[in-house]
């Protein structure tokens, strides 16, 4: 079961809303599908992204995947700890393995994301 | 079939197992209208005859001349151990070490290669080989664009013309290349023009990603590398040094003068000239650029029992995984040549390599003095290591006439740079540790004779190139219909 | 017993002892470097290892024995064509007349090599049905870049500058999209059809005024010939685009299909695959490119040209202004091309056709031998290679294709290519080549079938494989997270300058 308090995308990102900031990462399912994550490329603060734009890249030993912004917004902070410890994404995908925080989330976009039950159903289909 | 194992009976057994009468049935999916016309090629040639044909062709090349030709490819003594070891089938009949458990030989040898070249260039990251110096330089230039997100590279006119052309071609997809001129006169003649470089860097509408210069440069001259690097960095650009590896035994390495990337031709490290390749593209960078460097990388790790082992790593940068977003399309590399370079360096050792570089320099000084004695001057006055250009009126003609006297008088620069009038009357000559004092004497005597217009005395035996000897030729009927005897 | 040697080796740096070695090069005279300005000189000598020759030889012989190679066993690496590398070719490439020839040698003293190169171009043109061939590209990927840059030049010369898209099937080699990007194009990936072929309808729908080219591999990376290739080529040309053929799988169709005759505009050859030049642990190769009439003006420079008197010469710099220029130094990997030439003449026309016949027969035979234990996703004759899938085995037992591949090592075989092409789940791409005997094919099939049975009876032994290699599975995550790419044990201070 995935955390109930988050919203999700079909591309296996999660979003945690916290006032006017949104924290974004990839789900445990995505991390396990990729395998041992060895590198995460994240944007610098201040960059703005449209919804579903590519904001970064995650690499495992033998695969690479683009990261898509679940909602639009400007980057407040990227998780610098992942540069030295990309394995945090595997070990704690919803906690220390977070990737970026965006400012001023758009409520309409958030409402359009999957809830935990819908995401659970999605990954159950495989 | 010279190397096939199948007897008629074997083929019958396989067809029977498939329940078909003829192998033609396996090709039934090729549309009839598109099936090939007959392969119009000669009959198979038995090894005895083929060997004789190949010997005949090889014998029609002349490699017995007193050669002063370098210009990017250098003759050196290759210790006998190098080729003996390369001939082991375990090296040359293996492929890319995709299965590390049964490829530790290749993997460790590449790690050692990365380490050896890293020492020579004094940089952190060495790619497991590129095609040649030209392609490595082009890849280095592309790296600077990716790393800086800028689209313009400056290449010194004193970088090897083939390398400059390759950068141009690799940039054919839309990136820009501008040439930095060389100084025309004075003590710095033939080296990169620093004032012009500064000007090119100052165009704020077209920011520069990288600056590329060679050490020694194409004319054999030593460049003010630290100064070029300083100017590049001041403009936010990266600095690419194009180097010759043997010289790095005695010349300051790229890491010492602030280069971000080193590229170069590894051929001098135990690889025969072979009329153009296969050679060894050297490419190295600082740690900061490790994500941008194209080509394979081998890292040290352990197996699940904790034993030390080696494996290809950071593979997600490569084309087979990242496809259209890969750092480069490179797949096949020059691993066997990287191995040759490693064996060469291990055999010759640090002191031997220094002797190779210093002996080449000593011979060059000897050549310079002997040429001066007959009134032939260097084209450029600046310091050089073992290669320099000389002023010779009607250089191409003189070059040809020396050939008839058994001397390969370097490169007529007009052949490589036909558009540069300042190089019309110049030969680029080089010496290495294999150059003998006798060869220098022959060269200088023949040159003196040709230039002073005296009639030739005692033309070398075997002189005069064979032309049109087609006794062994497979005549090509036409490009379309191919070959017949 | 291990399929390769068991003795892991210290690094060359750990073997080093200051003071060892020497005797190869005379000492340079004192002061030879005094004329070099101090600022240009190296302050600390490079910390290279010091070894005597016997020690070097043991190091590299022992290391070599840790490798699996064609010369030691069956190497069915799909898409790589790991056929036998003839020994005559090694001898030929080392003949001093070939090996010692400087690439800036005047044409008069290089006639033997120039003739060889010219004849080789002709042979490759005949095999491919192309109008002309350049031997310059150093490898298949550089050949692809050469081809795509020529296509770019072609469209530009016609003022057709809006064409910036290249269509590539999803089963293609990764080099195809990577090359398209390098040549300044955008890649449009087209999914494969259900039968494993190119989806001609999807391709046709994607073709348009923005399409510069399509890149097609036939037979495809699934080992299947594109049955509708004629229709596809017509549609491509109808749209004003050009067709690039990735020649990686040419070993299947020698004498059966000439891409130039069928309508392809350009293709590359992988001589280290089809024409037996050694793979060298990753390289070198050579990637000649053949072109049809449309791209002839754009071929890289220099070309080898015949003179009226029967001799040969290299094109001069700037002689043909329409050329795309050069992508590397000199004429090409000539040493590799000498080997390819020898291979081609040893076979002749009839032998080359037999090569493909035998390669295709062997692949179909091997496919039939393993078809009960593994799924064969595409039920039609394959060409020189085929894909088998362990998806059902994985579902039943949890044993993955990776595990099966590693277990093959314990049976004495090099594993096939795995997880490529990406479109087949738990796929392995198996290419036996024409130089493997029926006994070898049977032994390999027996091993694969035994492993399939073992997956049910003893899955753990497969998941722990290999058990008989000098090392077990490696920690690749650690290698990538904390990269150690270079030995740091020595310092320059240990090897002081002699003067």
In C, which residues are within 8 Å of A87 by CB distance?
A: 477, 481
Q: Distance (Å) from the C-alpha of residue B279 to the closest C-alpha of chain A? A: 30
Determine the Cα–Cα distance for residues C309 and B473; give it in Å rounded to an integer.
13
Look at residue B212 and give its three-state secondary structure.
Answer: strand
Determine the Cα–Cα distance for residues C391 and C402; give it in Å rounded to an integer.
11
Determine the Cα–Cα distance for residues B8 and B18; give it in Å rounded to an integer.
16
Q: Is the peptide bond before A120 cis (omega within 30 degrees of 0)?
A: no
Determine the Cα–Cα distance for residues B101 and C355; give it in Å rounded to an integer.
31
Give the orientation angle of helix B225-234 with respect to helix B194-201, to 10 degrees.
Answer: 10
pLDDT tens for residues C11-50?
Answer: 999 999 999 999 999 999 999 999 999 999 999 999 999 9
Q: Distance (Å) from the C-alpha of residue C475 to the closest C-alpha of chain B? A: 6
**Contact yes or no for B275 and C98 at CB 8 A:** yes
Q: How confident is the model at residue C493 (pLDDT cuts 50, 70, 90)?
A: very low
**For A19-87, where are the E strands, in sequence order?**
21-26, 37-41, 48-49, 54-60, 64-68, 73-78
Q: Distance (Å) from the C-alpha of residue B168 to the closest C-alpha of chain C? A: 8
Locate C339 and state its tokens: 């080997």
Report which of B248, B374, B326 is spatially closest to residue C40, judged by C-alpha positions.
B248
| Interface test mutation site (partner C, options A31, A34, A37, A38, max chain C beta carbons within 10 A) | A38
Look at residue B430 and give its three-state secondary structure.
Answer: strand
**Contact yes or no for C472 and B98 at CB 8 A:** no
Is any Cβ of chain A less than 8 angstroms from the Cβ of C477?
Answer: yes
In C, which residues are within 8 Å of A36 by CB distance?
A: 476-477, 480
pLDDT at B324: 84
Output the average pLDDT for chain C.
95
Please work out, in degrees rounded to the nearest 5, the angle formed at the alpha carbon of residue B366 by the alpha carbons of B360 and B370: 140
Is any Cβ of chain C less than 8 angstroms from the Cβ of A61?
Answer: yes
In B, which residues are within 8 Å of A61 by CB distance?
A: 315-316
Is any Cβ of chain A less than 8 angstroms from the Cβ of C481?
Answer: yes
Q: How confident is the model at residue B468 (pLDDT cuts 50, 70, 90)?
A: very low
Residues paired with B150 in a beta bridge: none
**Residues 274-313 of chain C whose Cβ lies under 8 A from any Cβ of chain B:** 276, 278-287, 300, 307, 309-311
Residues C259 and C247: beta-carbon distance below 8 Å: yes
Locate B464 and state its tokens: 């005069």
Q: Tokens 């997880």 — which residue?
A: C419
**Contact yes or no for B321 and A62 at CB 8 A:** yes
Question: B320-329, B336-345, C363-372: which has the minimum mean pLDDT?
Answer: B320-329
Taking the mean position of all CA atoms in its chain, how far away is CA C46? 34
pLDDT at C498: 37
pLDDT at B48: 98
**Contact yes or no for C108 and B467 at CB 8 A:** yes
**Residues 405-424 of chain C whose Cβ lies under 8 A from any Cβ of chain B:** 405-406, 409, 414-415, 417, 420
pLDDT at C499: 36
Residues paired with C274 in a beta bridge: none
Q: How confident is the model at residue C490 (pLDDT cuts 50, 70, 90)?
A: low
Report which of C421, C194, C439 is spatially closest to residue C430, judged by C-alpha positions.
C421
Question: CA C211, C217, C219, C220: dihedral to nearest 10 degrees?
Answer: -90
Residues B134 and C326: beta-carbon distance below 8 Å: yes
Q: How confident is the model at residue B474 (pLDDT cuts 50, 70, 90)?
A: low
Q: Tokens 């993955």 — which residue?
A: C400
Q: How confident is the model at residue C491 (pLDDT cuts 50, 70, 90)?
A: low
**Contact yes or no for C4 and B102 at CB 8 A:** yes
Size of interface A-B (CB pairs under 8 A): 19
Report whether pLDDT(B473) > 80: no
**Residues 419-448 of chain C whose Cβ lies under 8 A from any Cβ of chain A:** 419
Residues paired with A56 in a beta bridge: A67
User: What's the burial of B450, exposed, middle or buried (CB within 10 Å: 0-12/13-18/19+)?
Assistant: buried
Is any Cβ of chain B less than 8 angstroms from the Cβ of C97?
Answer: yes
Report which of C363, C366, C367, C384 is spatially closest to residue C375, judged by C-alpha positions.
C367
Q: What are phi and psi of A89, to 5 degrees?
A: -65, -40
In A, which residues are within 8 Å of C480 by CB distance?
A: 36, 38-39, 59, 61
pLDDT at B326: 84
- Of the partner residues B27, B105, B170, the one whose CB lies closest to the CB of residue C327: B170
Determine the Cα–Cα distance for residues B117 and B130; give it in Å rounded to an integer.
13
Q: How confident is the model at residue C198 (pLDDT cuts 50, 70, 90)?
A: confident
**Contact yes or no for C32 and B97 at CB 8 A:** no
Q: What are phi and psi of B70, to 5 degrees?
A: -130, -95
Q: What is the pLDDT along chain A (126 residues), one digit of tens a residue?
A: 799 999 999 999 999 998 889 999 999 999 998 999 999 999 999 999 999 999 999 998 878 889 999 999 999 999 999 999 999 999 999 999 999 999 877 889 999 999 999 999 998 876
In A, which residues are within 8 Å of B325 by CB distance?
A: 64
pLDDT cut 90: percent of chain C above it: 93
Q: Does the CA dihedral B342-B348-B352-B355 come out positive or negative?
A: negative
Is any Cβ of chain B less than 8 angstroms from the Cβ of C198?
Answer: no
Half-sphere exposure for C265 (CA within 13 Å, toward CB): 27
Q: How confident is the model at residue C160 (pLDDT cuts 50, 70, 90)?
A: very high
In A, which residues are within 8 Å of C477 by CB distance?
A: 36, 38, 61, 87
Q: Distance (Å) from the C-alpha of residue C482 to the closest C-alpha of chain A? A: 9
Q: Is the peptide bond before C421 cis (omega within 30 degrees of 0)?
A: yes
Is any Cβ of chain A less than 8 angstroms from the Cβ of B291?
Answer: yes
DSSP C27: P
pLDDT at B465: 41
pLDDT tens for residues B1-47?
Answer: 799 999 999 999 999 999 999 999 999 999 999 999 999 999 999 99
**Residues 37-66 of chain A whose Cβ lies under 8 A from any Cβ of chain B:** 38-39, 41, 59-64
Q: Going by DSSP bridges, is the β-strand pair A13-18/A21-26 parallel, antiparallel, or unpaired?
A: antiparallel
Q: Tokens 């035979």 — which residue?
A: C365
Give the helix, strand, coil percentages of chain A, each rounded to 5: 25, 35, 40
Maximal CA-CA distance, chain B: 83
Size of interface A-C (CB pairs under 8 A): 17
Residues A14 and A25: beta-carbon distance below 8 Å: yes
Determine the Cα–Cα distance for residues B212 and B242; give it in Å rounded to an integer.
7
pLDDT at B460: 44
Is any Cβ of chain A less than 8 angstroms from the Cβ of C474?
Answer: no
In A, which residues are within 8 Å of C476 by CB distance?
A: 36, 61-62
pLDDT tens for residues B168-191?
Answer: 999 988 899 999 999 999 999 999
List all chains that touch chain C, counting a touch as 3 or more CB pairs closer than 8 Å.
A, B
pLDDT cut 90: percent of chain B above it: 88
Is any Cβ of chain C less than 8 angstroms from the Cβ of A77?
Answer: no
pLDDT at B315: 84
pLDDT tens for residues C199-227?
Answer: 988 999 999 999 999 999 999 999 999 99
pLDDT at A126: 63
Please work out, in degrees rounded to the nearest 5, the angle formed at the alpha carbon of residue C413 by the alpha carbons of C411 and C414: 140
Determine the Cα–Cα distance for residues C427 and B64; give it in Å rounded to an integer.
54
Locate B187 and state its tokens: 């003590």
Taking CB atoms within 8 Å and a gap of at least 24, the contacts of B13-22 are: B13/C438, B14/C361, B14/C362, B14/C364, B14/C365, B14/C438, B15/C361, B17/C365, B17/C368, B17/C369, B18/C361, B18/C364, B18/C365, B18/C368
Q: How confident is the model at residue B478 (pLDDT cuts 50, 70, 90)?
A: very low
Output the average pLDDT for chain B.
93
Q: Distance (Å) from the C-alpha of residue A49 to the closest C-alpha of chain C? A: 22
List all residues 6 or more positions away from C166 whose beta carbon is below 8 Å from its beta carbon.
C148, C177, C180, C185, C186, C187, C188, C211, C212, C213, C214, C215
pLDDT at C420: 87
Determine the Cα–Cα distance for residues C242 and B140; give it in Å rounded to an integer.
30
pLDDT tens for residues B274-313?
Answer: 999 999 999 999 999 999 999 999 999 999 999 999 999 9
Question: CA C148, C150, C156, C158: dihedral to nearest 10 degrees?
Answer: -120
Please work out, in degrees rounded to the nearest 5, the angle formed at the alpha carbon of residue B85 by the alpha carbons of B81 and B87: 125
List all chains that touch chain B, counting a touch as 3 or more CB pairs closer than 8 Å.
A, C
pLDDT tens for residues B422-434?
Answer: 999 999 999 999 9
Give the residue ranges of DSSP H helices in B126-266: 133-148, 161-170, 194-201, 225-234
Is any Cβ of chain A less than 8 angstroms from the Cβ of C480?
Answer: yes
Is any Cβ of chain A less than 8 angstroms from the Cβ of C476?
Answer: yes
pLDDT cut 70: percent of chain C above it: 98
> Which residue of chain C is at minimal alpha-carbon distance from B222?
C40
Q: Distance (Å) from the C-alpha of residue A25 to the closest C-alpha of chain C? A: 19
> Which residue of chain C is at minimal alpha-carbon distance from A61?
C477
**Contact yes or no for A59 and B316 at CB 8 A:** yes
Q: How confident is the model at residue B454 (pLDDT cuts 50, 70, 90)?
A: low
- Of the partner residues C22, C225, C326, the one whose CB lies closest to the CB of residue B162: C326
Q: What is the mean pLDDT of residues C369-381?
A: 95
In A, which residues are within 8 Å of C419 by CB distance?
A: 62
DSSP B428: E
Q: Does the CA dihedral C303-C306-C307-C308 come out positive or negative?
A: negative
Q: What is the mean pLDDT of residues C181-196?
A: 91
pLDDT at B480: 39
> Which residue of chain C is at minimal alpha-carbon distance from B92?
C280
| Interface test mutation site (partner C, options B38, B50, B275, B483, max chain C beta carbons within 10 A) | B275
In whole angstroms, how far apart are CA C110 and each of C5, C94, C113, C301?
A: 43, 16, 6, 18
Q: Distance (Å) from the C-alpha of residue C456 to the closest C-alpha of chain B? A: 24
Is any Cβ of chain C less than 8 angstroms from the Cβ of A86?
Answer: yes
Q: What is the pTM of this model?
A: 0.95
Report which of C267, C149, C285 is spatially closest to residue C216, judged by C-alpha positions.
C267
Report whether pLDDT(B212) > 80: yes
pLDDT at A63: 83
**Contact yes or no for B4 and C92 at CB 8 A:** no
pLDDT at C497: 37
Q: Does the CA dihedral C320-C322-C327-C332 come out positive or negative?
A: negative
Locate B121 and state its tokens: 């260039």
Q: Is the peptide bond before B142 cis (omega within 30 degrees of 0)?
A: no
> Which residue of chain C is at minimal alpha-carbon distance from B36?
C257
């Amino acid at each position: 079961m995935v955390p109930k308090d988050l919203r999700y995308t079909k591309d296996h990102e999660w979003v945690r809303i916290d006032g006017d900031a949104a924290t974004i990462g990839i789900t445990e399912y995505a991390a396990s599908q990729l395998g041992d994550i060895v590198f995460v490329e994240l944007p610098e603060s201040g960059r703005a992204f449209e919804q579903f734009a590519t904001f970064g890249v995650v690499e495992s030993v033998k695969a690479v995947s683009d990261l898509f912004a679940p909602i639009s917004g400007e980057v407040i902070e990227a998780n610098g700890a992942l540069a030295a410890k990309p394995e945090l994404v595997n070990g704690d995908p919803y906690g220390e393995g977070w990737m970026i925080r965006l400012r001023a989330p758009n409520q309409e976009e958030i409402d359009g994301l999957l809830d935990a039950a819908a995401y659970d159903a999605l990954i159950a289909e495989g | 079939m010279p190397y096939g194992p199948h007897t008629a009976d074997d083929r019958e057994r396989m067809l029977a197992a498939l329940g078909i009468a003829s192998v033609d049935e396996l090709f039934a999916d090729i549309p009839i209208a598109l099936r090939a016309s007959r392969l119009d090629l000669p009959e198979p040639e038995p090894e005895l005859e083929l060997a004789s044909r190949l010997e005949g062709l090889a014998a029609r090349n002349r490699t017995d001349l007193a050669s002063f030709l370098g210009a990017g490819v250098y003759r050196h003594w290759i210790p006998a151990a190098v080729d003996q070891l390369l001939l082991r089938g375990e090296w040359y009949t293996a492929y890319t070490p995709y299965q590390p458990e049964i490829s530790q030989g290749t993997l460790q040898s590449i790690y050692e290669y990365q380490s050896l070249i890293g020492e020579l260039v004094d940089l952190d990251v060495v790619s497991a080989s590129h095609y040649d110096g030209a392609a490595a330089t082009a890849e280095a230039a592309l790296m600077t664009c990716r790393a800086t997100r800028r689209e313009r590279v400056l290449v010194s006119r004193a970088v090897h013309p083939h390398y400059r052309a390759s950068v141009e071609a690799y940039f054919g997809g839309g990136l820009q290349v501008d040439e930095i001129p060389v100084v025309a006169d004075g003590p710095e003649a033939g080296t990169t023009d620093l004032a012009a470089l500064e000007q090119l860097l100052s165009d704020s509408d077209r920011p520069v990603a990288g600056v590329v210069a060679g050490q020694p440069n194409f004319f054999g001259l030593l460049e003010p590398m630290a100064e070029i690097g300083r100017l590049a960095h001041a403009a936010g650009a990266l600095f690419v040094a194009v180097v010759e590896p043997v010289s790095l035994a005695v010349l300051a390495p790229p890491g010492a003068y602030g280069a971000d990337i080193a590229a170069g031709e590894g051929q001098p490290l135990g690889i025969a000239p072979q009329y153009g390749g296969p050679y060894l593209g050297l490419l190295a960078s600082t740690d900061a650029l490790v994500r941008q460097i194209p080509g394979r990388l081998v890292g040290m790790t352990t197996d699940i029992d904790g034993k030390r082992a080696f494996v290809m790593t950071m593979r997600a940068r490569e084309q087979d995984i990242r496809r259209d977003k890969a750092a480069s399309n490179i797949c096949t590399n020059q691993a066997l040549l990287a191995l040759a370079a490693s064996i060469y360096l291990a055999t010759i050792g640090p002191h031997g390599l220094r002797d190779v570089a210093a002996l080449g320099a000593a011979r060059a000084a000897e050549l310079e003095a002997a040429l001066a004695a007959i009134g032939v001057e260097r084209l450029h006055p600046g310091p050089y290591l073992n290669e320099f250009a000389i002023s010779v009126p009607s250089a191409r003609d003189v070059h040809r006439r020396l050939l008839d006297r058994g001397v390969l008088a370097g490169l007529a620069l007009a052949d490589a740079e036909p558009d540069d009038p300042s190089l019309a009357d110049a030969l680029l000559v080089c010496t290495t540790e294999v150059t003998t004092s006798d060869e220098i004497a022959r060269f200088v005597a023949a040159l003196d004779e040709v230039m002073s217009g005296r009639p030739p005395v005692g033309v070398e035996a075997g002189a005069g190139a064979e032309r049109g000897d087609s006794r062994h030729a497979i005549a090509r009927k036409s490009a379309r219909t191919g070959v017949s005897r | 017993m291990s399929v390769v040697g068991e003795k892991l080796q210290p690094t060359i740096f750990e073997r080093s002892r200051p003071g060892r070695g020497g005797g190869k090069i005379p000492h340079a005279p004192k002061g030879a470097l005094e004329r070099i300005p101090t600022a240009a000189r190296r302050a600390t000598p490079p910390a290279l290892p010091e070894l005597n020759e016997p020690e070097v030889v043991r190091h590299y012989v022992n290391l070599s024995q840790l490798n699996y190679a064609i010369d030691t066993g069956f190497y069915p690496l799909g898409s790589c064509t790991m056929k036998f590398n003839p020994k005559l070719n090694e001898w030929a490439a080392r003949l001093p007349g070939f090996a010692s020839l400087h690439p800036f040698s005047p044409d008069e003293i290089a006639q033997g090599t120039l003739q060889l190169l010219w004849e080789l171009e002709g042979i490759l043109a005949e095999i491919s049905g192309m109008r002309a061939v350049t031997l310059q590209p150093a490898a298949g990927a550089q050949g692809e870049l050469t081809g795509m840059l020529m296509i770019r030049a072609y469209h530009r010369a016609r003022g057709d500058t809006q064409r910036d898209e290249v269509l590539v099937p999803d089963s293609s080699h990764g080099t195809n999209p990577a090359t398209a990007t390098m040549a300044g194009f955008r890649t449009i990936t087209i999914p494969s059809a259900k039968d494993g072929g190119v989806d001609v309808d999807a391709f046709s729908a994607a073709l348009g005024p923005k399409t510069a080219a399509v890149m097609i591999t036939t037979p495809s990376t699934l080992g299947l010939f594109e049955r509708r290739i004629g229709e596809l080529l017509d549609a491509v040309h109808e749209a004003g685009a050009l067709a690039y053929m990735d020649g990686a799988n040419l070993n299947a169709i020698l004498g059966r299909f000439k891409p130039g005759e069928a309508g392809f505009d350009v293709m590359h050859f992988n001589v280290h695959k089809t024409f037996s030049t050694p793979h060298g642990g990753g390289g070198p190769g050579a990637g000649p490119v053949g072109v049809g009439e449309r791209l002839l003006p754009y071929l890289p420079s220099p070309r080898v040209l015949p003179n009226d008197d029967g001799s040969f010469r290299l094109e001069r710099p700037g002689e043909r202004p329409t050329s795309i220029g050069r992508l590397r130094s000199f004429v090409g990997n000539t040493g590799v091309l000498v080997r390819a030439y020898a291979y081609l003449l040893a076979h002749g026309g009839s032998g080359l056709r037999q090569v493909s016949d035998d390669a295709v027969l062997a692949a179909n035979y091997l496919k039939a031998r393993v078809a009960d234990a593994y799924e064969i996703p595409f039920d039609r004759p394959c060409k020189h290679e085929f894909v088998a899938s362990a998806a059902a085995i994985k579902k039943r037992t949890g044993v993955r294709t990776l595990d099966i591949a590693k277990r093959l090592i314990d049976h004495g075989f090099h594993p096939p290519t795995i997880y490529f092409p990406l479109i087949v789940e738990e796929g392995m791409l198996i290419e036996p080549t024409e130089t493997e005997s029926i006994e070898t094919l049977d032994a390999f099939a027996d091993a694969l079938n035994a492993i399939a049975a073992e997956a049910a009876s003893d899955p753990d032994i497969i998941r722990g494989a290999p058990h008989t290699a000098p090392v077990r599975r490696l920690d690749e995550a650690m290698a990538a997270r904390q990269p150690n790419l270079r030995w740091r044990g020595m310092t320059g201070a240990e090897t002081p300058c002699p003067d």
